[in-house]
Amino acid sequence: MGEIAEYFKRERYITRRLSLVVLSGTIILVPVTLASAHGRISAHTLGWVFVAFAACVAVMVVFILRAARAKFPKTAAPDDSPLDDKTRRKLRRRILFLEFFVVVYAGTLLYSLSQARNGPWLPLVIGIAVNLLMQAALIKAIRRLKKKLRAATSVTSPARAESAP
């Protein structure tokens, strides 16, 4: 259970920091967008603000992931301890949550394809690529979690082995 517990700690660490990045982005981008809507900032400048913000977010994500990797290193030893029911439920809930978002992304892709079929092709191709990359990342995470769940579930706990006839 050590590896899975570390997974949830690492995930909480990353989620909190990414939430801070999103909050700070909202605090910065909403007033800039409203100023652009009122004509105080040109549309060209607004585009550059979004590009600069995207670059800053990319750098922050790299720093957050590196810090998480340094703080929560992967263990070299395999985790052979059985899962308790609470952790098993957490993993199943996480897998279900990720599967739901795969369906949402697939539905979004189909809807956007139906709406943008007569539009310019470059934004459409970029949108399709980003959507498919997100789906691939989600599917990879689902497979990894299912593998961890199967491996941890297949290990028999000593309490269960004693209660078996």
Number of H helices, E strands in the chain: 5, 0
Read off the pLDDT of each residue in 21-31 and give the average, rounded to a whole number.
89
Q: What pLDDT, on the 0 to 100 scale, is given for residue 120?
A: 81
What tens digit of pLDDT does each residue of 76-107 get? Answer: 655 566 677 888 888 899 999 999 999 999 99
Rounded Cα gap, residues 35 and 48, in angstroms: 14
Amino acid letter for position 31: P
**Cα pseudo-dihedral 76, 156, 149, 94, rounded to 10:** -110
- Would you say the pTM of this structure is higher than 0.85? no
pLDDT value at position 46? 86
pLDDT tens digits for 105-148? 999 999 988 888 787 888 788 888 989 999 999 999 899 889 88
